[in-house]
Amino acid sequence: MKPTDRQTPEPLRRILFVVPSLHGGGAEFVARTWMAWLAGRGYEVSAVLTAGTAEGEHVPAGVRVTSLSGARGHVRKTGALRAILQNTAPDVAIALQAHPNLLLLSAARLLPRARRPRVLISERNLVSLGLPGSALSHRVKIWFARRMYSWADHVIAISHPVAGELVAAFGVSGDRVTVVANPATAKVRPPEQSTRRPGADRGIQIVLACRLVAQKRPLLAIDAAAELISRGVPAEVVSFGGGPLLAEVTAAASAAGVPFIHHGWVENWFEHFGNNAVALLPSSREGFGNVLVEAAAAGYPAVAVSGALGVADAIVPGITGELALSAAPTDLADALLRAAELPLAENIQPWLRRFSVDSSGTDLESVLLGTLGRTREQARVRALA
C-alpha cells in the first residue's frame, strides 16, 4: 500500500516531532524516516530540533522544521517549545531520546490540560548499563527521566529489552509501552544475486560498522581476529566508522599482526563487503543495533555480544547471525565461525519486512491513533464523572 492510498484517519491530523537534529545518528535517521512516511500519508507533520539547524538536504518533504538552537539552557528551550505547542496545537507530539523527551514532557506540563497534545516519548537506549562512570550531567538527566517518563501518554521503545527497562526502572505502566521496530532496512537495496560463499575456508573479513568509541569496544574486533588467526583461520578487520579510538585500534592491530583497513564513515557501508564478510557489533550495550539488520538485508551474517541486550531484537541466532556468549575473544571467535557458516536463506524476508519503512510507519501510526483515541475517551469519562 502506498502512503497516499487512503485518507488520513480522523481525529489525528497534526503531528509534531521533537528531536535533537535531522542527521548525525540512528535516532535522527528513524525520526526523519517516520516524518516522511507520515507526511506521505497526508498528515500535517512538523519538527522541532533541540540542537540542529532547520535547513539542509535532510529536511523531509512536506515537513515544517523549527530549531531551538538559539535558546540556551533547559528552561529557555522548555519555554520556547511550550510556545510552539500552544501556537501550533498538534494533536500528538512525539520526542526521541532522553533530552528531547524531558523537554517535551516539561513543556506540555506547563500547558492547561485542555490545551495539551497527547505526548509520546521514545527511548532508544539501555540507560542503566550506561550509568556507571557517566558524567554527573547525564546522571542528573536520568534522575529526572525516572521521575517524569511516567507522565507520558504513551512510550515507544526501540526493542523489548528497552521496554522492559522502561517498566522496571522508569515506572512506566506496561500497558502504555509499545515496541515499534526501526525502519532499519530503509537504506538497503537487497542484492539481486549475492556473491557471498558461506564458510571460513577463505578466512573471515570482520566488518566493524560502528563508531570507534568506548561503548562499541572496537578493540574486541582486533582480539577476535587475533584469536581466529591463532586457530589457523585468516582474518582481517575492516572499519566503517571514525572515532577517538582509531589510533588505539590501529596500534593494537599492528601489535597483534591483524590486518586492519579503515575506511571512515561510509553511509552505505553494507555495499562494500568482501564475499567472506561477517559484521561484528561488539558493544557493551545497544538499544537495538540497526547495522545487524542492515547486514542481514544485504545478505551477510552478523555477530553481537548477548550481554548488550538490545541486540537480541536485531539478530535471529542461527538464522541471520549469532550472539556471542560473552565478550571474551574465544567466544567472539566461536560466534564468528558459526555465523560464517550460515546460508542466510530467502526465508529471512518475512523477518526483514518487520523493519521496512511501511511496516515501521504503520505500527507507529497505529500507536499514535490508539493513544489519541484512548486519551480522548478517558477525558470524556472524566467529564461525565
Task: State how far Cα 167 lies from the chain centre.
Answer: 19
| pLDDT recorded at residue 383 | 45
CATH class of 14-183+356-384: alpha beta
DSSP β-bridge partners for residue 321? 302, 317
**pTM score over 0.85:** yes
Helices 98-109 & 73-88, crossing angle to 10 degrees? 60
91 near 11, Cβ under 8 Å? yes
Q: Determine the 3-state secondary structure of 293 from DSSP.
A: helix
Exposure of 87 by Cβ count < 10 A (0-12 exposed, 13-18 middle, 19+ buried)?
exposed
For the beta carbon of residue 232, count every other beta carbon within 10 angstroms. 8
pLDDT tens digits for 235-268?
Answer: 999 999 889 999 999 999 999 999 999 998 888 8
pLDDT tens digits for 78-134?
Answer: 999 999 999 999 999 999 999 999 999 999 999 999 999 999 999 999 998 888 888
| Parts of the chain with a pLDDT under 50 | 1-9, 380-385
DSSP 42-95: T-EEEEEESSS-S-STTSPTT-EEEE-TTS-HHHHHHHHHHHHHHHH--SEEEE
Q: Which CATH superfamily is domain 204-348 in?
A: Glycogen Phosphorylase B; (3.40.50.2000)
| pLDDT recorded at residue 169 | 95
Q: How far apart are CA 219 and CA 192, in angstroms?
A: 34
Identical fold for domains 14-183+356-384 and 204-348, yes or no, is: yes
| pLDDT recorded at residue 381 | 42
H-run or E-run covering 368: helix 357-384
| pLDDT recorded at residue 7 | 47
CB-based contacts of 161: which residues, under 8 Å, 6+ apart?
A: 126, 287, 309, 310, 312, 313
The domains of the chain are located at 14-183+356-384, 204-348
